């Protein structure tokens, strides 16, 4: 096995930066750092494809430091020398924290963190006063500051880094990235860093990188260490072969997850999942565990349900999702990272890039909507070459997901479900009958889960029609079925028993919330009801005379030609930059993206994957469809 190099052996790293590394306890470079730093410090753009937890942050922080340290003339206050773009606030803050000691080693260099959740005018004022030679932030806020600030000067930018590049593209940040990159000088070094190099990332690399090299790195595991000591327990590079021109492989990968990860799955019904989870958490109560759920509402519900079900189990749980206030998210994440053990219940807002020390287990209570996110979730453990474990809970009809992941080089081992476990759901249902807060959170979680399940990208595996809604309603401790379209034709479900308690009489245990509810009920009672509408006689219109087939075809052909001409005019606007591609799709297909903010100021659930299906369906056998296909080829 080839030995890793010491940072002192990498000649591109200055003595000042080596001193910072030594003060932080870093001695040996990880494979991704060893392969990337010499290239990125030189005159190469890089597209780095390395499994999560392999040390990518230092692989771009060190080159940024060296580039700015070697400037012939110092940057003025409002000149930007480097910019790091991250998809989430938490990851941006983590990168900013890593960057600080390295930037401080360069005289006169200032840094600034720009993320959502605060007043953008305050950020503009702070930049006006102090400047920011290195900007770290999310695409929306960075783009906003570039538009608002009249003094920000990006013409001297040396380095642009897009971290988690696939997420930046998938999450609907395209407009912001396009706006930012138009304002940046072309003579710069650019780095794309991600654990999953998608087609979109490769397209971006072809369009935005000059003299590029792709770095593909795998990490072999070393013995697990207790506690986190920087510079220890780092992975060793596997044997590698040279790639083709413009591409360097530090190692060959036969799987996309860290090789130190032991991933397994367990099959059970939806109303058995909580019992399985509770048993697992009690078995591993001394370890640090992250549990992922499908929706924010599910996190809120289980954050209440787990302590109720395990009243004497001593489980310490905390919740984190995109709809929480930024201050809450930061405090929760910091507290969980500082503890030696505990359970974090979260959504995919905590799936990417975050380096939380000593996470022993990742439990996926619900598989993610996007299969690429699976890799990022399990990457919160087995980091930097250490070992870790992951467990995924699947419903019986979802077992094909295992084969699907295996094809995508993510192997899972089956684990048998525990039998004879006590059922915690009656206890939670009883609590819901006494506290309206639990009842309402369960209902919201059920509704959001059903709707989120329908948005799975792997809908050939996660088939909504095969969901046992009765068992699912039981799993969320529902007292009665909610009114929702999915249940419009199902007043009762065989596997669900409604509560005999009148839900209108259930009060909030929180006296302030109950008082507010009573006020709303009183105000509603005083509001006069609208009189019933008078019956209106409906006069059925006369049926139109059916046109001959030849005439109908002639009209349809004329309409198709008009539609094609209109779409072609819009396409020319896109090419001239007067219309975005998103607006083009909405106008051409008559669709509107349903985007929900995830709390980052970023779209959480974009329905863009539906566009392809709609486009394909609309294109069958029509001139309009053929025209759309021609335009897609023109874009490529």
pLDDT digits (tens, 9 = 90+) for 163-190: 988 778 765 677 888 888 889 998 899 9
Question: Percentage of the chain surpassing pLDDT 90?
Answer: 54
Helix/strand/coil (H/E/C) assignment for every residue in 324-367: CCHHHHHHHHHHHHHCCCEEEEECHHHCCCCCCCCEEEEEECCC
Q: Which residue has the higher pLDDT, 2 or 136?
A: 136
Mean pLDDT of 314-340: 90
Q: Which residue has the higher pLDDT, 160 or 224?
A: 160
> Residue 170: its pLDDT value, please?
63
**Contact call for residues 312 and 463 (beta carbons, < 8 A):** no
Q: Which residue has the higher pLDDT, 215 or 84?
A: 84
Q: Report the chain's mean pLDDT, rounded to a whole number.
A: 81
Question: Percentage of the chain surpassing pLDDT 70?
Answer: 77
Nearest to 190 by CA among 50, 47, 325, 368: 47
> Residue 616: its pLDDT value, please?
40
pLDDT beyond 60 at 561: yes
pLDDT (tens digit per residue) in 478-495: 999 998 888 877 777 889
Global confidence as pTM: 0.67
Confidence of residue 237 (pLDDT cuts 50, 70, 90): very low
pLDDT (tens digit per residue) in 246-287: 444 443 345 667 778 899 999 999 999 999 999 999 999 999
**Alpha helices of 131-216 — where are they, by DSSP H?**
139-148, 165-170, 174-183, 199-208
**CA dist 381 to 170, 235, 291, 349, 459, Å?**
23, 14, 12, 16, 28
> Residue 387: its pLDDT value, please?
87
Q: Which residue has the higher pLDDT, 593 or 345?
A: 345
Three-state secondary structure call for residue 292 = strand
Sorted by sequence, the CB contacts under 8 Å of residue 135 that are 6+ apart come out as 80, 82, 83, 84, 111, 112, 114, 142, 145
pLDDT beyond 50 at 239: no
pLDDT beyond 60 at 324: yes
Would you give the end-to-end CA distance of the chain in angstroms?
43
Mean pLDDT of 182-202: 81
Query: CATH 3.40.50.300: does it fit domain 261-487?
Result: yes
Write down how long the chain is. Answer: 636
> Residue 476: its pLDDT value, please?
97
> Residue 622: its pLDDT value, please?
41
* Secondary structure element (H or E) that encloses residue 162, with its range: strand 159-163
> Residue 615: its pLDDT value, please?
39
pLDDT beyond 50 at 626: no
> Residue 20: its pLDDT value, please?
96
The per-residue DSSP string of 90-130 comes to: HHHHHHHHHHHHHHHTSTT--EEEE-SSS-HHHHHHHHHHH
Neighbour count for residue 217 (Cβ, 10 Å) = 28
pLDDT (tens digit per residue) in 202-227: 666 665 677 788 888 754 444 433 33
pLDDT (tens digit per residue) in 384-419: 667 899 999 999 999 999 999 999 889 999 999 999
> Residue 596: its pLDDT value, please?
36
> Residue 601: its pLDDT value, please?
39
The pairing of strands 134-137 and 82-85 is: parallel
Distance separating alpha carbons of residues 397 and 376, to the nearest angstrom? 24
> Residue 529: its pLDDT value, please?
72
pLDDT beyond 60 at 631: no
Confidence of residue 506 (pLDDT cuts 50, 70, 90): very high
Confidence of residue 621 (pLDDT cuts 50, 70, 90): very low
Q: Where in the chain is the domain with CATH 3.40.50.300?
A: 7-249, 261-487
Helix axis angle for 623-635 and 608-619, nearest 10°, is: 130
Helix axis angle for 89-104 and 56-69, nearest 10°, is: 40
**Contact call for residues 366 and 298 (beta carbons, < 8 A):** yes
Distance separating alpha carbons of residues 422 and 424, to the nearest angstrom? 6
Confidence of residue 330 (pLDDT cuts 50, 70, 90): confident
CATH topology of domain 7-249: Rossmann fold (3.40.50)
């Amino acid at each position: 096995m080839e030995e890793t190099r010491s940072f002192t052996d990498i000649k591109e790293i200055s003595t000042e930066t080596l001193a910072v590394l030594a003060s932080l306890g870093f001695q040996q470079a990880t494979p991704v750092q060893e392969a990337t730093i010499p290239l990125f410090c030189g005159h190469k753009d890089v597209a780095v494809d390395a499994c999560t937890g392999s040390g990518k942050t230092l692989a771009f922080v060190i080159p940024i430091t060296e580039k700015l340290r070697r400037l012939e003339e110092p940057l003025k206050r409002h000149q930007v020398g480097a910019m790091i773009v991250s998809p989430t606030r938490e990851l941006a803050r983590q990168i900013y924290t890593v960057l600080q000691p390295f930037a401080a080693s360069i005289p006169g260099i200032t840094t600034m963190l720009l993320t959502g959740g605060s007043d953008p005018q305050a950020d503009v004022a702070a930049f006006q006063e102090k400047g920011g030679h290195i900007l770290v932030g999310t695409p929306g806020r960075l783009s906003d500051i570039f538009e608002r600030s009249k003094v920000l000067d990006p013409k001297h930018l040396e380095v642009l880094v897009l971290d988690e590049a696939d997420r930046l593209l998938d999450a609907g940040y395209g407009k912001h990235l396009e706006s930012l990159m138009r304002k940046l000088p072309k003579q710069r070094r650019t780095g794309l860093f991600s654990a999953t190099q998608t087609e979109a990332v490769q397209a971006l690399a072809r369009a935005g990188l000059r003299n590029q090299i792709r770095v593909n790195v795998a990490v072999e595991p070393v013995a697990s260490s207790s506690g986190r000591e920087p510079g220890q327990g780092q992975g060793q590079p596997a044997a590698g072969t040279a790639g083709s021109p413009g591409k360097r492989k530090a190692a060959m990968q036969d799987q996309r997850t860290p090789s130190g990860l032991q991933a397994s799955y367990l099959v059970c019904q939806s109303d058995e999942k909580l019992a399985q989870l509770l048993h697992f958490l009690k078995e591993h109560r001394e370890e640090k565990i992250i549990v992922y759920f499908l929706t924010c509402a599910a996190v809120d519900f289980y954050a209440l349900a787990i302590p109720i079900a395990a009243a004497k189990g001593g489980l310490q749980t905390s919740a984190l999702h995109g709809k929480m206030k930024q201050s809450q998210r930061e405090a929760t994440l910091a507290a969980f990272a500082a503890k030696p053990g505990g359970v974090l219940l979260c959504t995919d807002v905590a799936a990417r890039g975050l380096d939380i020390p000593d996470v022993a287990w990742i439990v996926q209570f619900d598989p993610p909507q996007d299969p690429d996110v699976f890799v990022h979730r399990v990457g919160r453990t087995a980091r930097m070459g250490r070992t870790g474990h992951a467990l995924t809970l699947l419903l019986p009809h979802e077992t094909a997901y295992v084969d699907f992941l295996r094809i995508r080089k993510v192997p899972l081992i089956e684990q048998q479900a525990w039998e004879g476990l006590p059922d915690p759901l009656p206890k939670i249902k009883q609590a819901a009958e006494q506290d309206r807060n639990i009842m309402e959170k369960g209902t919201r979680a059920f509704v959001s889960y059903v709707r989120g399940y329908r948005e799975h990208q792997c809908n050939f595996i996660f088939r909504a029609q095969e969901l046992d809604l009765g068992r699912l309603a039981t799993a969320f401790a529902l007292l009665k079925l909610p009114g929702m379209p999915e249940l419009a034709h199902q007043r009762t479900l065989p596997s669900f028993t409604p509560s005999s308690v009148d839900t209108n009489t259930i009060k909030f245990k929180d006296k302030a919330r109950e008082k507010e509810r009573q006020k709303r009920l009183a105000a509603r009672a005083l509001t006069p009801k609208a009189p019933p509408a008078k019956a209106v006689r409906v006069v059925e219109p006369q049926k139109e005379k059916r046109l001959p087939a030849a005439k109908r075809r002639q009209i349809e052909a004329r309409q198709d030609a008009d539609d094609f001409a209109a779409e072609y005019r819009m396409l020319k606007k896109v090419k001239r930059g007067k219309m975005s591609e998103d607006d083009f799709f909405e106008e051409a297909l008559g669709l509107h993206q349903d985007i929900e903010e995830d709390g980052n100021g970023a779209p959480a659930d974009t329905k863009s994957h539906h566009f392809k299906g709609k486009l394909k369906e609309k294109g069958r056998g029509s001139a309009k469809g053929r025209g759309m296909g021609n335009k897609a080829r023109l874009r490529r």
